[in-house]
Each structure stands twice: as C-alpha cells, then as structure tokens.
C-alpha cells in the first residue's frame, strides 16, 4: 500500500510540474544593465544640461554671443546658499583637509584644491590651471567673495573651468566656510 501511495504522490507531483505554464517553470532572465560607453554617457550629460551649462558647453569655453553676462552672473549668484554661521568657518583643520594638504592627511577628492592651485609654499606638487593661492589671506580679498567663488565660480567668472563645488553638492556650505577660514587665516601655511 505504501508503494502505491508513494507512486501516486510522484505521479501527482509530476502532473503539477508538467501543467505549470512555462513562465512559472523557469525564471525569466534578469535584464542586464547595459554598460554605457563614455560617448553615450557624454550624450546623456549634454541632454540634461540647464540653459547656462548649454551656453558654456562650447569649444572655446567662453560665454557665447547672445548671452547677457550680467544676467548670467546674477542667476548664478542666486544659486549660492550661505551657511548659517557665516562664510568664515570655525574648523580651520577641516578646511585644511578639504583644501587637500597631503602632509596633513588631506587626500580629499572633494575639495582637492591642489589639483589646480598651489598653496603651501612647502608643497611643490600643485596644479597650475588656476592661480596660485600662496599668500591668499594677505591679498585683502573679502571672505564672502572667496566663498562665492568656491560655491559657484560662475557667479564671478561665467563658464570658468573651476568646479562649482557647492552648486553641484560636492561640498556643503559649512565645509566651504571652513576652507575659506583656512585660506584667510594668518596662521595658515598658505599665508606664511
């Protein structure tokens, strides 16, 4: 009797499996994410630009004809968000790390100012795309102007190649304020 029951169970199970639709038997293959080529990513990025980015996406990196520079700067300035505590932060050590001093463990890819600028005169490995920032705090530049330039450089210099670190959310307003504090502090290595 047991053999009969077991045989019946196997037949029943076989019928259950055989009667299921093909889609239930095997899972449909998962759609693989297509890896985009650099060219495809570039096309997507171009399609998602705001009007000002489109205006600056030209081979000469200059504001094209037909764009009013003052309107451009005003609209970019309107995007700047200031921190509650003011444009000069209190954490100079964090500002130095974000600035990117390799001697102080500043391997941050978020500020990484040394990629384009020279700073501490003792650090010879620095970029030359932007101006030297050695002695920056002695130049009499308003810290608010420094903050604006770091947050959204296009508010000062339309289509600048300087990254718009606050505008794109790479740095928070408080972090930018700490970089400003580091740049303007008389005891900063930049200003010695």
CATH of the domain at 145: 1.10.760.10
Question: 53-64: per-residue pLDDT in tens?
Answer: 877 877 665 666
User: CA-CA distance, 40 to 44, in Å (whole number)?
Assistant: 6
Query: What one-character DSSP code corresponds to residue 85?
Result: T
User: CA-CA distance, 147 to 179, in Å (whole number)?
Assistant: 8
User: CA-CA distance, 78 to 72, in Å (whole number)?
Assistant: 10
Question: 127-173: per-residue pLDDT in tens?
Answer: 889 999 999 999 999 999 999 999 999 999 988 889 999 998 989 99
**Torsion from C-alpha of 31, 35, 40, 44, nearest 10 degrees:** 60
Is the pLDDT assigned to residue 23 strictly greater than 80?
A: no
Residue 2 lies in a domain: no
Query: What one-character DSSP code corresponds to residue 129?
Result: S
Is the pLDDT assigned to residue 27 strictly greater than 70?
A: no
- Residue 116: CB atoms within 10 A of its CB come to 16
Residue 87 phi/psi, 5-degree rounding, is -80, -15
Assigned token pair, 184: 């303007």
Residue 43 lies in a domain: no
Residue 153 lies in a domain: yes
Residue 171 lies in a domain: yes
Residue 133 lies in a domain: yes
For the segment 85-111, the average pLDDT, to the nearest whole number, is 77
**Torsion from C-alpha of 76, 79, 81, 87, nearest 10 degrees:** 0
- Of residues 155 and 105, more confidence is placed in 155
Assigned token pair, 104: 């102080």
φ/ψ bin of 66: left (φ > 0), alpha (ψ from -120 to 50), beta (otherwise) = left
Is the pLDDT assigned to residue 22 strictly greater than 60?
A: no
What is the model's pLDDT at position 100?
A: 81
The answer to whether 111 and 99 are in contact (CB under 8 A) is yes
What is the model's pLDDT at position 110?
A: 66
Tally of domains within the chain = 1
Residue 176 lies in a domain: yes
- Of residues 40 and 59, more confidence is placed in 40
Residue 52 lies in a domain: no
**Torsion from C-alpha of 53, 48, 76, 56, nearest 10 degrees:** 0
Residue 163 lies in a domain: yes
The residue range of the domain holding 172 is: 92-191
What is the model's pLDDT at position 179?
A: 95
């Amino acid at each position: 009797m047991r053999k009969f029951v077991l045989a019946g169970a196997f037949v029943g199970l076989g019928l259950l499996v055989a009667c299921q639709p093909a889609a239930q038997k095997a899972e449909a293959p998962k759609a693989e994410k297509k890896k985009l080529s650099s060219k495809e990513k570039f096309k997507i990025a171009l399609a998602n630009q705001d009007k000002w980015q489109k205006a600056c996406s030209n081979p000469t990196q200059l504001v094209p004809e037909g764009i009013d520079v003052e309107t451009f700067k005003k609209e970019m300035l309107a995007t700047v968000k200031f921190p509650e505590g003011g444009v000069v932060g209190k954490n100079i050590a964090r500002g130095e790390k974000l600035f990117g001093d390799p001697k102080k463990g500043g391997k941050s890819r978020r500020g990484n100012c040394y990629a384009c600028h020279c700073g501490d005169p003792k650090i010879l490995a620095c970029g030359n795309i932007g101006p030297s920032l050695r002695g920056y705090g002695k130049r009499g530049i308003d810290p608010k102007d420094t903050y604006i330039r770091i947050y959204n450089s296009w508010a000062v210099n339309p289509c600048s190649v300087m990254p718009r670190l606050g505008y794109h959310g790479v740095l928070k307003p408080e972090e930018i304020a700490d970089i400003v504090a580091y740049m303007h502090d008389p005891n900063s290595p930049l200003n010695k």
